Amino acid sequence: MDAPDPIPKAEQPAPHLQLEDRGAPVNKDLMVNIRAFFWTDLEVAQVEVIAITEDISSLSQCLAGTAEQVQHLQTSHMAMHVMDTH
């Protein structure tokens, strides 16, 4: 009865996304959008984000995935921000 409430799914960190600060500026809003993007659209089980920067081309180079997935991320970049309505 005294067990803590389970963390709501929205607050759980995505287990397949890891952030490392390597000196690049981190965009927290972009991080949240990318997490939602991979969970909902690509449904990728093994994706690692090395670093997140303001530059989408730098971000693409940091994504561990196929070239097709990176291209899909680039073309869907604006849509991710549109979907984030909170």
**Domain boundaries along the sequence of the chain:** 16-83
**Mean pLDDT score across all residues of the chain:** 50
Half-sphere exposure of 9 (CA within 13 A, CB side): 2
Does residue 14 surpass a pLDDT of 50? no
- Distance of alpha carbon 71 from alpha carbon 85, whole angstroms: 24
CA angle 43, 79, 22 (to 5 degrees): 70
Alpha-carbon distance of 86 to 70, in angstroms, equals 26
Rg, Å, the chain Cα set: 14
Flag whether pLDDT at 23 surpasses 50: yes
Whole-number pLDDT of residue 45: 40
Output the CA angle 86-9-48, nearest 5 degrees. Answer: 90
Confidence of residue 27 (pLDDT cuts 50, 70, 90): low
SS3 1: coil
What's the predicted TM-score (pTM) here?
A: 0.16
Q: Where residue 68 falls among pLDDT bands split at 50, 70, 90?
A: low
Amino acid identity of residue 34, one-letter, is I
